[in-house]
Amino acid sequence: MFSADLGEDRIIRGGKRLAGKRVLYFNGVQIYRGRLDDEMAAKLVSFCRDLATKNANEFVRIRAGAVTFAGGAVIFPSMPEPHLPALVSLLVRAGSGYLGDEEVHVDPVLWKIHGTGVPILLDEDDLGLLPELTREANPRRRRRDSRPETQALTPRRLVAPQELGGRFADPAPLRWIVLPEFTPGADTRLEALGGSGALFQIVRSVLNLNTWGDRALLFLRELLDTVPTSRLVVGSLPGASELVLEAAPRIMEEVSQ
């Protein structure tokens, strides 16, 4: 199903090595073209994730990041957002268990959050937030397309949670829903949220709403009535991760009582 042309590396003036063009195909259709092996690997992994999970309709599939604290799961439902994996990465580096960076599965019976088993696909613009990661610089950075529908197409780098001192977490019961709004430069803050606004935001993140239909709305409304829900305005990614880390122990303790 997949094939790759790794091109030929060339030595240019001054003895510098120029990597050949890497081209990745799926059933003969080009899905990646660039010069970085780990960027191509990230595209391969994300493509395989989508193929493997698109029919997992025994779960409510949500576009969200997720981590664990003290045996409970926190999810971050979102529209396509390139910086969501960076928020998850900062939480994993701080000691949270890793479930997912852009997609998680909710068990509608046990209310447990399942990850997809895929490493973090970090946007290359956020590598500077994690200086411990050593990655080859992109020789020709592409201009970011700001349209929401193309955000998932931004260049990614593959990061294992172990590189951040973290780990893949086992499925965990849902304990907190955090709806992030990425607004660079805004005051980073965490606020309680509920009602129709919260329901609208989380419904937009459901990936298999066409399968679940009205059942998904009833299920999500029950989740929001039972599980603490917050709005996280992300003006600064490090600041947002600090707010979540500070609030999580108190919220987890209250929910588990």
pLDDT mean over 121-132: 92
Asked if residue 7 has pLDDT above 90, the reply is: no
Q: Classify strands 172-182 and 229-234 as parallel, antiparallel or unpaired.
A: parallel
Digit-coded pLDDT (tens) for 43-96: 888 877 777 777 778 899 999 999 999 889 999 999 989 999 999 999 999 999
Asked if residue 238 has pLDDT above 70, the reply is: yes
| Spatial separation of the C-alpha atoms in residues 105 and 64, rounded to whole Å | 9
pLDDT for the residue numbered 231: 95
pLDDT for the residue numbered 142: 54
Nearest to 21 by CA among 38, 2, 34: 34
The band of 150, judged by pLDDT with boundaries at 50, 70 and 90, is very low
Average pLDDT, the chain: 87
Question: How many CA atoms lie within 13 Å of 86's alpha carbon, on the beta-carbon side?
Answer: 20
Domains and CATH numbers, the chain: 59-136+143-256 (3.40.50.300)
* Residue appearing with tokens 């994300």: 46
Structure tokens at 53: 């999970």
The band of 257, judged by pLDDT with boundaries at 50, 70 and 90, is low
Distances (CA, A) of 83 to 125, 126, 149, 243: 9, 7, 14, 17
Structure tokens at 224: 């929001």
Collapse the DSSP code of 16 into the 3-class scheme (helix H, G, I; strand E, B; otherwise coil) and give the result.
coil
pLDDT for the residue numbered 149: 44
| Spatial separation of the C-alpha atoms in residues 256 and 251, rounded to whole Å | 9
Residues forming a β-bridge with 161: none
Asked if residue 151 has pLDDT above 70, the reply is: no
Residues forming a β-bridge with 120: 159
**Beta carbons of 172 and 71 less than 8 angstroms apart:** yes
Cα torsion 84, 130, 121, 149: sign: positive
Burial class (CB in 10 A: 0-12, 13-18, 19+), 25: middle
Asked if residue 125 has pLDDT above 50, the reply is: yes
pLDDT for the residue numbered 153: 53
**Beta carbons of 76 and 84 less than 8 angstroms apart:** yes
The band of 141, judged by pLDDT with boundaries at 50, 70 and 90, is low
